[in-house]
Structure 1
Amino acid sequence: MSFELFLQYLTNGISLGSLYALIAIGYTMVYGILRLINFAHGEIFMMSLYFAFYGVTMFSMPWYVSFVMAIIFTAALGMLVERAAYRPLRDSPRITVMVSAIGASFFMQNLGIVIFGGRPKAFPNISLLTDVIKIGTVTLQRLTLIIPVVTIVLLFGLLHLVNKTKTGMAMRAVSKDHETARLMGVDVNRTITITFGIGSILAAIGGIMWGSRFPQIQPVMGLMPGLKCFIAAVIGGIGNITGAVIGGFILGIGEIMIIAFLPDLTGYRDAFAFVLLIVILLFKPTGIMGEKISEKV
C-alpha cells in the first residue's frame, strides 16, 4: 500500500471516528449522571436527520437555518424523552428504567416508520460540505476535514462546561449522589434535563454530518450507529467524556483500516466493533479511561 493511499484511509478513519465520538458523548454523559444507558439515543440521532431533511425539502429553508432548527428540535426531543420515559421512574429499580429506555427506542423507531415511511430518502447535498478537495495526492471531501475539527472544538467546549461552570459543577455533584446534591441545593431534575439536552445537541450535530457523508436516511438507521457509539463509550470508559472520544476514534480508525489491509473482511466491518467490545470487557472492563464504580447497597 502506498503512503498516499494509507493517508487517504487514515483521514477517512479519523473522520468516521469523530462521528462516533460525537454520538458516544451523549451516551457517556447520561450514564455518568444517571448510571443508565439511554437506548433511545440512536433514534434521537435519526430524528435529527429528518428534522434537517424536511427543513430543507418541505419548508424550503436555507440549509444552515434548517440545520440550526434541527439541532434545537433534537435538543427539545431529547429533553422530552427524559421527561416522559425516565423522570417518572427515577426511584424505580434500574432494570425498570432500562426497559423504559428500550421501549422509548422502539417507539421512536416505529413512529418514524409511520410518519416518514420506510422508504429511504436522500439527504440534501450541501456543496460546501461535500465538495471534493485535493491535498497533495490525497483526494477528500471537505467534510472529512471539517468533522474532526468540529469534534475537537465541541469536546473542549464540553470539558470547559463540565469543569468550569456552575452547571457543570451541578452535573458532577449529581453524578456522585442525587440525594446529597439535592440537599446542597442542586435542582437534580433540571440538571438531568440539561444533560439530556446537551447529549441530544451533540447527537444532532453528529447526525447532520453523518447525513452529509452518508446521504441516505431511514427510520431504522439509528440502530447500528447507536450500538457502535455505545461500544465506543464502553471502550473509552463509559462515564468519561474524553474516553468516549478516544473510543470513537479507535473504533472509526479500526473499521477503516480493516477495509484497507484486509479487504476480504469488508463485509465483517460491523463485527469488528463487537469483537473489540468483547476484548475490552475481558481485559479492561472499565474501559481505557473508566473508573471502577461501586454499586450502592
Structure 2
Amino acid sequence: MLQQIIQILPQVLVDGLTLGFIYAVVAIGYTLVYGILELINFAHGDVFMTGSFIGAGVLFFLMSIGFLSSVPSLIVFIIVILIAALATGFLGVGIERVAYRPLRRRNAPKLIALITSIGISFILEDVVRFIAELKTGNYIITAPSLFKTQYHLNIHSIMPFFHNVTFQASFLVVLVVTVVMLISLDIFVNRTKWGMAMRAVAQDRETASLMSINVNRVISVTFFIGSALGGATGVLFMIQYGTIDPYIGFILGIKAFTAAVLGGIGNIRGAMLGGILLGLMEMFAAANLSTITHGAMGAEYKDVFAFIILILVLIFKPEGLFGKAVVEKV
C-alpha cells in the first residue's frame, strides 16, 4: 500500500498544486474582506463562478469572429482574463455599494450582513444560469481549450520508485499566473499607500477615518481587488478543467473559506499557504483513499477532507495555523 502511494506522489503534487493555488487566490478574497469588515462574504465563491462564465462568454465571442484561429492562445488568454477580472472587480464594488454599505451605515448586526451575502450568492447563481440557458440552452458549459499541449516527465527512468507525471500546458499557465497574482498582491498590501490604508482600516476603522483615510473608498478598493482576483481565478479554473456550471462557486467557495480559516482568517499569507495545503491534502485523498481504505471509500469522499480539516482547526487552533490569537480588551 505504501509503495502505491509513493509511486503516484509526483502526480498528486502536480494536481494538488494546481487546485491549491486556485483555492489560495479565492481564499484571499475572503480574508481581505474579513480583515477589514469582519464579514464572511459568502458571495465571493459565486463571484469566482461569474468570472469563469464571463471568460467563457468572451472566448465564445472571439471564436465566433475567428479571433482564436488568427491570434496566439497566450494573447487570447490575457485578453480573456483581463476582461473577466475587470468585470468581476466592478461587480464586487457594486455588491459592496448596494448590499453591504447600507447595512454598515445603519450599524446592522453582522448576522444580517452574513445572510445578505448568502442571498447575493443565490442571486448570482440564478442570474448566471438564466443567461447561460438563454444563450446556449444549457447551464453546463464546456469552454474552448486554449492550451491543449500535454507534457510527460519521465521521472521513472531517474527515480524508479516514482511513476511518470503527465500534465497539460494549462497547469503551467495556472501556476505562473497565480504566483504572479499572489506576489503582486503581497507587494501591494505591504509596500503601497493603498495597502497601508487597507491595513490601517483593518486595524481600527474609526481611528483610520480620523487620520483622513476615506474608509468607504478603501473598502471599495478591497472589494475590487478581491473580486478581480476571484474572477481571474475563475478563468484559470475554466481553462484547467474545461467544464463549468453556475454551482461551482458554492463548493469551491466553501473550501476556499476553509483554506482561509486553516491559514488564519484575515492573514493574507496564511490564506495562500492554507489554500495550497488544502489542495495538496484533497488531491492526496482523492488519489489514495481507495487504497488506504481497501476500496471502502473512493475519490468521491475527498470533499469530506476539507470539512474535517475545518472542524479540527476550529477545535484545536481557531485562530488558524498562521494566525495570531486576538485578546479582546474590555
Pairing partner for 1:28 from 31, 34, 39: 31
Distance across 2 between alignment mates of 1:9 and 1:252 = 10
1:218 deviation in Å? 1.4
State yes or no: 1:163 paired with 2:163: no
1:145 deviation in Å? 3.0
Q: How does 1:98-247 map to 2 (within 5 A)?
A: 98-117=114-133, 119-127=139-147, 130-136=148-154, 137-247=164-274
Q: Secondary structure at the match of 1:133?
A: strand
The letter of the residue matching 1:54 is G
The letter of the residue matching 2:144 is P
Pairing partner for 1:37 from 23, 29, 40: 40
State yes or no: 1:79 paired with 2:93: yes
1:53 deviation in Å? 1.1
1:286 deviation in Å? 0.6
Gap change, CA 1:89 and 1:4, over 3 Å in 2: same
Distance across 2 between alignment mates of 1:45 and 1:259 = 23
1:5 deviation in Å? 2.6
Distance across 2 between alignment mates of 1:239 and 1:156 = 17
1:295 deviation in Å? 5.4
Mind listing any 5+ residue stretches in structure 2 that lack a counterpart?
A: 69-75, 155-163, 291-296
Which one is further off, 169-178 or 258-267?
A: 258-267
Deviation by residue 1:159-207 (Cα, 9 ceiling, x = unmatched):
1111111001100110011111111000101101111111112112211
Pairing partner for 1:97 from 113, 120, 128: 113
Distance across 1 between alignment mates of 2:168 and 2:315 = 38
Gap change, CA 1:119 and 1:154, over 3 Å in 2: closer
Distance across 2 between alignment mates of 1:82 and 1:233 = 20
**Number of aligned pairs?**
295
1:68 deviation in Å? 1.7
Q: Tell me if the contact between 2:31 and 2:268 (Cα under 8 Å) persists in the aligned partners.
A: yes
Gap change, CA 1:204 and 1:290, over 3 Å in 2: same
1:153 deviation in Å? 2.4
Q: Tell me if the contact between 1:32 and 1:175 (Cα under 8 Å) persists in the aligned partners.
A: yes
The letter of the residue matching 2:229 is L
1:140 deviation in Å? 1.1
Deviation by residue 1:216-235 (Cα, 9 ceiling, x = unmatched):
11112211101100000000
Distance across 2 between alignment mates of 1:13 and 1:191 = 34
Distance across 2 between alignment mates of 1:92 and 1:278 = 28
Q: Tell me if the contact between 1:4 and 1:138 (Cα under 8 Å) persists in the aligned partners.
A: no
Q: Tell me if the contact between 1:43 and 1:108 (Cα under 8 Å) persists in the aligned partners.
A: yes
1:257 is matched with 284
Which one is further off, 26-35 or 262-271?
A: 262-271
The letter of the residue matching 1:134 is H
The letter of the residue matching 2:83 is M
1:54 is matched with 57
Q: Secondary structure at the match of 1:289?
A: coil
Mind listing any 5+ residue stretches in structure 1 that lack a counterpart?
A: none
Deviation by residue 1:213-267 (Cα, 9 ceiling, x = unmatched):
2111111221110110000000000000111011111111011111222223311
Distance across 1 between alignment mates of 2:195 and 2:250 = 30
Distance across 2 between alignment mates of 1:119 and 1:196 = 27
Q: TM-score, normalised by structure 2?
A: 0.85
Q: Tell me if the contact between 2:16 and 2:282 (Cα under 8 Å) persists in the aligned partners.
A: yes
Q: Tell me if the contact between 1:39 and 1:105 (Cα under 8 Å) persists in the aligned partners.
A: yes
1:50 deviation in Å? 1.2
Aligned sequence identity (%): 42
**CA radius of gyration, larger in:** 2
Q: Secondary structure at the match of 1:134?
A: strand
Distance across 2 between alignment mates of 1:206 and 1:67 = 8
Distance across 2 between alignment mates of 1:154 and 1:204 = 12
